[in-house]
Amino acid sequence: MKDHYPTLETVPMDWLVSPEMQPEYLELLGYDVPEMTNLAELFVDNRVREGLGEHIAVIQADDDQRYTYNDLMHVSMRLAHVLKNLGVLPGDRVAIRSPNRVEALTMFLAIWRVGGIAVLTPPQARASELPFFLNDTLAKVLFVANKGDYIGETLKCQSEFQSVRHIVAFPDNTGTPYLSLAALLEGVPDFFENQSMPRDSLAVIWHTGGTTGVAKACYHTIRRVVLAGYAGAIGYGVCAGDVHMMPAPLGHAAGWLSRTNLSLLHGITFVELEDFTDYSKILRAIGKYHVTWFIALATSWVGMLHAYEESPGTYNLSSLQRAYAPFISATGGWLYNAWKNLGFTLLNPMGSTAFATWFIAPPLNQTVPPMCLGRPNPGYEVRIVDAESQHLQNVATGEIGRIALRGCSGLTYWNRPEVQNRDVREGWVVLDDLGKQDEEGNLWYMGRADMMISTAGYKVAPVEVEDVISTHPAVEEVAVTSAPDAVRGEVVMAWIVPKKEVHPDAALVEEIQNYVKERISPYKYPRRVAFVKELPHDPVGKIIVKLLKNWASSEKEPEGLLYW
């Protein structure tokens, strides 16, 4: 099964992936998408027709505002008129630069109502970076929140935007040279006739995180976004009455997915929080709004744990039925055990920008080992392969290899034929992630393939070392990278945040090195160790490994160093 994109004058068709270069798509049994449709209609209007118009779609926890599906429908219809009046045509790209506000979600819906393609921009992008995201996607219109760095960094670099015809500040244009959304909305009706689009029309373009290299844009069609949402919801056990929360930026794929094809598509409630770095606010929101299904990366779970332990009687988390901590294996078992002692089992799903969903989730009806990924969700198949072989070959059970995946959604790069040809092989998408499969068929995440360390001819997966070091009683958090070495080429290096009461010194370095040697193959022990006050994280909460590797290669000591 391949996608056949409709020809549009607004879309550079040679930038899209031809059928022969697309991955092999699988069916999701029992689910399909109409030949002609509209994504806003599938996400919101259909919920209203089903009688859920007055059901709460989004709660903005920062100011305790509630928005129904009716609200989202009518507000986004008014915004669609604004876009049409600005000359946005089917296939045009519209970018959004915004904090976690419901206004941004209604803008995405409006883009789809006119047949446009939504473009995500990372909220942390600076003036030196923002033009790349807009120019790379040939965005025609940019919506930007008139506050802080969102507007400040935009003002610095607007002269570098090559395709942007209109910049719209919201809620108004005070202090800017841009169009005012408030003014553009004056007198606009709250009904809009949706532009029906072929289901293989593009719906969204976003960029990979870029933490280990130059960001690359990939896109997803209406059909793939919807089927991915259905498959992900089956894996997560989404059901009527659920209240979902993920404290992550709306401008990143994971955050966007939680708000759209994992919430709106299924008629449930999403709890929005702009200030998601305040962990006490997250805990209060869980209790106040009776969150049932919560996903956060390890950084947030660590911060929430500390906030909870500082004032254990303050927070009520009894509504939580499912708690997910993607990539928790990088943090180690102590975090899992700490929350287990509080009555919560942290489950470890896996997803990616390439598939527009979480494609592996621990099954709800059976117990899996701590920090295990579990099995693929319906509609997806996974292999652990030797990607260096001429043809994809499965590695032996228990061995580490690259994760290869195919399913009802898949990787399609925007104007990157060379990497499309590299990453899609024999119909399978070969991820930049390492994994292994145990005798029971359970999958385990073993870190990024491009972070694999080659030391004196041996291959070391950083996560193997991280998992051991994280169990040492002196360690709060750890990341493992390579470091250059004149003799071995590379050596294993551990970046460790010690617990508050620990004062690191040479003796502790040796103790941790011996600790690793006693538990896994001795060649995997960290020959270099740095103790730091904190590890660098991106806004989603992932450790910025690229920065750590840069520090390891530099003679200059990193900021916050405690012991080198």
Instruction: Kindly give, in sequence order, each residue whose CB lies less than 8 Å from that of residue 324, ignoring residues fewer than 6 positions away.
Output: 236, 293, 294, 295, 296, 346, 347, 348, 349, 361
The DSSP secondary structure of 265-297, one letter per residue, reads GGT-EEEE-S-TT-HHHHHHHHHHTT--EEE--
Number of residues written out for the chain = 564
Residue 428 pLDDT more than 90? Answer: yes
C-alpha 133/C-alpha 175 separation (Å) is 24
**Any bridge partners for residue 445, and if so which?**
435
Residue 335 pLDDT more than 90? Answer: no
Residue 209 pLDDT more than 70? Answer: no
| Cβ burial, residue 409 (10 Å; 0-12/13-18/19+) | buried
- Our separate counts of H helices and E strands in the chain read 16, 31
- Encode pLDDT of 368-393 as tens digits: 888 899 999 999 999 999 988 889 99
The band of 211, judged by pLDDT with boundaries at 50, 70 and 90, is very low
- Encode pLDDT of 522-557 as tens digits: 889 999 999 999 998 876 667 888 889 889 888 777
Of 52 and 277, the structure prediction assigns the larger pLDDT to: 52
Tokens of 430: 């070969």
Residue 326 pLDDT more than 60? Answer: yes
52 to each of 64, 68, 176, 245, how far by Cα in Å?
Answer: 21, 8, 39, 20
The band of 330, judged by pLDDT with boundaries at 50, 70 and 90, is low
Tokens of 275: 């200030």
Backbone angles phi, psi at 77, to 5 degrees: -65, -40
- Encode pLDDT of 269-318 as tens digits: 999 999 988 999 999 999 999 999 999 988 889 899 999 999 988 999 99
| Cβ burial, residue 107 (10 Å; 0-12/13-18/19+) | buried
Nearest to 352 by CA among 478, 247, 216, 453: 216
C-alpha 394/C-alpha 391 separation (Å) is 10
| Straight-line distance from the first to the last Cα atom of the chain, in angstroms, rounded to the nearest whole number | 54
Helices marked H in 138-188: 148-157, 181-184
Chain-wide mean pLDDT for the chain? 93
The band of 446, judged by pLDDT with boundaries at 50, 70 and 90, is confident
Q: Count the neighbouring beta carbons within 10 Å of the beta carbon of residue 256.
A: 25
The band of 564, judged by pLDDT with boundaries at 50, 70 and 90, is low
Backbone angles phi, psi at 94, to 5 degrees: -125, 125
Q: Across residues 454-480, what is the average pLDDT?
A: 88
Q: Give, as one character, the DSSP assignment of residue 52.
A: I
| Predicted local confidence at residue 543, as pLDDT | 83
Which residue reads 């092989």 in tokens?
Answer: 425
Q: Give, as one character, the DSSP assignment of residue 377.
A: P
Which residue reads 């009688």 in tokens?
Answer: 51
Residue 179 pLDDT more than 50? Answer: yes
Strand duo 269-272 + 56-60: pairing: parallel
**Spatial contact of 321 and 292, defined as CB atoms under 8 Å apart:** yes
| Cβ burial, residue 312 (10 Å; 0-12/13-18/19+) | exposed
Instruction: Kindly give, in sequence order, each residue whose CB lies less than 8 Å from that of residue 82, ignoring residues fewer than 6 positions away.
Output: 110, 168, 181, 184, 185, 188
Q: What structural domains and CATH numbers belong to the chain?
A: 27-276 (3.40.50.12780), 452-563 (3.30.300.30)
Backbone conformation region of residue 36, classed left if phi is above 0, alpha if psi is from -120 to 50, else beta: beta
The band of 212, judged by pLDDT with boundaries at 50, 70 and 90, is very low
**Spatial contact of 235 and 378, defined as CB atoms under 8 Å apart:** yes
- Encode pLDDT of 34-47 as tens digits: 999 999 999 999 99
| Predicted local confidence at residue 232, as pLDDT | 96
